[in-house]
Amino acid sequence: MLSGTIEKPWVKEKDTQGRLAYWLTYLVAFLGIVGGALRCYFAWKDVPRVGNLCLIMEDNFDTFDTENTWTRQVDMSGYGNGEFEMTTDSSNNSYVQDGFLYIVPTLTSDVIGAANVLNGYTYNISGCTNTNISACGAVSNSTSGSVINPVMSARLTTQNSYKIQYGKVEIRAKLPRGDWLWPALWMLPEQDTYGIWPASGEIDIMESRGNGPDYKAQGVDYVRGSLNWGPFTWLNGVSKTFGWWNTRRSSYDEGFHTYSLEWTESFLRIYVDTRLHFMLQISFNEPFFTRGDFPPFVQNGSQTIQTPNPWANASNAAPFDQPFYLIMNVAAGGTNGWFPDGVGNKPWLDGSDTAMHDFATHQSDWYSTWPTDLTQRALVVDYVKMWQKC
Using alpha carbons, list the distances in angstroms from residue 370 to 55, 65, 106, 324.
37, 28, 10, 32
Are the CB atoms for 140 and 117 separated by under 8 Å? Answer: yes
Q: DSSP string covering 11-41, please?
A: HHS--HHHHHHHHHHHHHHHHHHHHHHHHHH
How far is the C-alpha of 306 from the C-alpha of 43, rounded, in Å? 42
190 part of the active site: no
- Cα torsion angle, 163, 332, 136, 61, sign: negative
Q: How many CB atoms lie within 10 A of CB 241?
A: 22
Are the CB atoms for 118 and 361 separated by under 8 Å? Answer: yes
Q: Classify residue 267 by its DSSP letter.
A: E
From the candidates 207, 254, 265, 286, give the one annotated as an active-site residue: 207
How far is the C-alpha of 159 from the C-alpha of 69, rounded, in Å? 9
Are the CB atoms for 205 and 175 separated by under 8 Å? Answer: no
Total residues found in the chain within this entry: 390
The radius of gyration of the chain's CA atoms, rounded to the nearest angstrom, is 28
85 part of the active site: no
Are the CB atoms for 109 and 103 separated by under 8 Å? Answer: no
Q: Which amino acid is at 92?
A: N
From the candidates 202, 262, 265, 286, give the one annotated as an active-site residue: 202
Using alpha carbons, list the distances in angstroms from residue 94 to 149, 162, 198, 328, 340.
18, 19, 28, 11, 28
Residue 189's nearest CA partner among 53, 283, 327, 81 is 327
Give how far the C-alpha of residue 43 lies from the chain's centroid of Cα atoms, to the nearest Å.
Answer: 26
Are the CB atoms for 320 and 167 separated by under 8 Å? Answer: no
Q: Which amino acid is at 123?
A: Y
Using alpha carbons, list the distances in angstroms from residue 159 to 13, 68, 70, 71, 320.
84, 11, 8, 7, 17
What is the set of active-site residues? Answer: 202, 207
